[in-house]
Amino acid sequence: MKILLTGATGYIGKRLLPILVAQGHHVICCVRDKNRFYIPEDFQQNLEVIEVDFLEKDSLKAIPEAIDAAFYLIHSMSGPDTNYDELESQSAANFIEKINQTQAQQIVYLSGIVNDKSLSKHLSSRKNVETILSQSTVPLTTLRAGIIVGSGSASFEIIRDLVNKLPVMITPKWLNTKCQPIAINDVLEFLSKALLNPATYHQNFDIGGPDILTYKEMLLGFAEAKRLKRYIFTVPVMTPKLSSYWLYFVTSTSYKLASALVSSMKVEVVCSNQHINKLLNVTPMTYKEALSRALQKVDEDKVASSWKDSLVSGRFKSNISGYLKIPKKDCFIDRRKKEIVNLEYTINKIWAIGGENGWYYGDWLWSLRGFIDKLFGGVGSRRGRTHKNQIYSGDALDFWRVLYANKEEGKLILYAEMKLPGEAWLEFKIIHNTLYQAATFKPKGFLGKLYWYSVLPFHGFIFNGMLNKLIKE
């Protein structure tokens, strides 16, 4: 069967793709930028990649008519736009206009649980998208999930950050709100089993695990799994804005996502009916089991996807291909080079840079820069990296975004997503037996030039020290 997969570079899409391929489907992946879509060699025969932006109608012409079903996995909650609900509606409307012209027999949509009478902006938008999709001539199957627990999910990362960093928490009262978390593996099983199943057509289903917990109980459950003692006290005085800042500064989440999550966390997300479990023969795992599996994946460095690698987790608003050509005109450039002693060692060292491994020299200064960035509303350095030793185009890497990563070529290009009065690139490339390192800054006005000269004294020992560490074993 030919399956259209939207949101193929997203948290769910990346994990659903190998399942669909393993089931023998030919998958057509919709991406906004082919340059940040990594295709494993084993998948290439069963995969087709097309560039589509669902806000641009003309780009939808790339979608072929000969498809059997489509997954709609698009959302904009954590994006930079405050009118994300309008953008989600527009995307859905453009999608069904095109899908009605195809041979598709089903649309499968992953939404949020919307059983409460009072919904947040995010959940209202999810429900509105469902309404738009249901107007298609193609049968719609909607799966509504609450908190998704899995390595790399936004919810899991926020819980992990809070529990790991705060032995004592003074928290807002919405931590007593009830929810019904579900493991990412169960979400994927529901999605794959609902595909082209006539019993699910023209219906919506709530999907969740067997446990109904408060967010406080979820935090304490994580602490128990990590064998940590944590104390949580709730207070009624935290405003939504203060709560959002609390999440933003303590965790790796962006402020936009934190704000959207706080609004949604005040709403109970509990399943009203779970008869889909019997219909599809799925037995969801408990919260404890979901945590155990997620922690194991993190420990084994087998995180398949992370919310942080989505472009909307940073300041990027367009395709990375436009930034690949590093400018030289009107730029300040710090160039350095060193002869390589051990090629394999140097390449592995470059590919392990950032995250828990740090930047090899002056780490406290990198951390300070990340903290200052957070103070000014930037991404900070808490995003870390998804894999310990692998880097792919489009990945988040602390406060950088990976533009290009080719290990065989020995070339890595990073783009700064921190708040800057200009634009910055950091490039590593190996030519013969020499490592070249270049930090490029394109200033914006007088403030940009002032910024460059203010940090220039630190470049001498930070970049030189880092270069030496990349060379010497």
Residue pLDDT, tens place only, 253-295: 777 777 777 777 778 889 998 899 999 999 999 999 999 999 9
Residue 171 has, within 13 A of its CA and on its CB side, a CA count of 28
Distance CA 203, CA 210 (A): 22
Count other Cβ atoms within 10 Å, centred on residue 460.
11
Residues 381-390 have pLDDT tens digits of: 778 888 888 8
**Two tokens, residue 244:** 């959002």
- Determine the pLDDT at residue 82: 63
Which has more confidence, 381 or 419? Answer: 419
Output the CA–CA distances (angstroms, integers) from residue 26 to 44, 113, 257, in the order listed: 10, 30, 33
- Determine the pLDDT at residue 313: 56
- Determine the pLDDT at residue 383: 81
Residues 183-193 have pLDDT tens digits of: 999 999 999 99
pLDDT over threshold 60, residue 78 = no
Kind and range of the H or E element at 178? strand 178-179
Q: Is 113 exposed, middle or buried (0-12, 13-18, 19+ CB in 10 A)?
A: buried
Contact 196, 105 (CB under 8 A): yes
Domains annotated on the chain, with CATH: 2-302 (3.40.50.720), 328-471 (3.30.530)
Contact 161, 256 (CB under 8 A): no
Beta-carbon contacts of 449 under 8 Å, excluding residues fewer than 6 positions away, are 443
- Determine the pLDDT at residue 320: 67
Give the global pTM.
Answer: 0.85
Count other Cβ atoms within 10 Å, centred on residue 41.
6
